[in-house]
Amino acid sequence: MIGVRRFENKKFTLGEIPYFLWPHRHTKIFPMLVSFYRCEIGMKSGWVPATAMRVLIAIPVMLVLLYAGDYAWLRLRMGHSQLGPAFGTVRFYLATPTKSGREEIFFDQPQTETCARSLFPQLAYRPCWYAGGKTIRVVR
């Protein structure tokens, strides 16, 4: 075929990959990653150590795994009551601002909110550690 370049026997390093072999060459994502890897954006030429790249990749992966594990643990506790309650309740009071700049708190009308006993918001419920932080909520 005319115009086809073959590189069967040549091994490329990351910085030497020809542009037509890059995945997603119609976007600018992959060239930016290569530029970041080689420290061509905003820094002197050089390379980022492998451990720094591993850390930059590992942090989002660990956060996703933590969120997925938190969700799985909550769903497991929903089905097995001997593991502990999956949901809790938090009592809070409503307050309204007055014209003088103070707040009027309605202690005679306590409200309850169902919260998830988890690290992250799950199943449209806020985590109990976050929901219990403010026991007085201002309604404007």
Q: Which amino acid is at 117?
A: R
Which residue did the predictor score with more confidence, 20 or 92?
Answer: 92
Backbone angles phi, psi at 62, to 5 degrees: -65, -40
User: 49 and 86: one domain?
Assistant: no
User: 57 and 101: one domain?
Assistant: no
Whether the predicted pLDDT of 1 surpasses 50: no
| In the block, residue with structure tokens 């202690």 | 107
Residue 116 buriedness (CB in 10 A; 0-12 / 13-18 / 19+) = buried
User: 70 and 20: one domain?
Assistant: yes
Rounded Cα gap, residues 74 and 115, in angstroms: 12
* Domain assignment of residue 7, yes or no: no
User: 74 and 86: one domain?
Assistant: no
Q: What is the mean pLDDT of residues 55-66?
A: 91
- The answer to whether 112 touches 91, Cβ cutoff 8 Å, is yes
User: 61 and 22: one domain?
Assistant: yes
pLDDT value, residue 3: 47
Q: Where are the alpha helices (DSSP H) in 11-138?
A: 29-37, 50-79, 128-131
Of the listed ranges 17-21, 44-48, 57-61, 101-105, the least confidently predicted one is 44-48
Rounded Cα gap, residues 102 and 108, in angstroms: 18
* Domain assignment of residue 1, yes or no: no
pLDDT value, residue 93: 93
* Domain assignment of residue 63, yes or no: yes
Q: What percent of the chain has pLDDT over 70?
A: 64
* Domain assignment of residue 114, yes or no: yes
**Residue that finishes a domain, picked among 29, 51, 79:** 79
Question: How far lies 28's CA from each of 2, 23, 40, 85, 126, in Å?
Answer: 27, 10, 15, 48, 37
Rounded to two decimals, what is the model's pTM? 0.59
Summary mean pLDDT of the chain: 78
Instruction: Give how many domains the chain has, as a whole number.
Output: 2
User: 87 and 73: one domain?
Assistant: no
Structural domain containing residue 75: 14-79
Task: Give the pLDDT confidence of 84-128 residue by residue, as tens digits.
Answer: 999 999 999 999 999 998 999 999 989 999 999 999 999 999 999
User: 53 and 70: one domain?
Assistant: yes
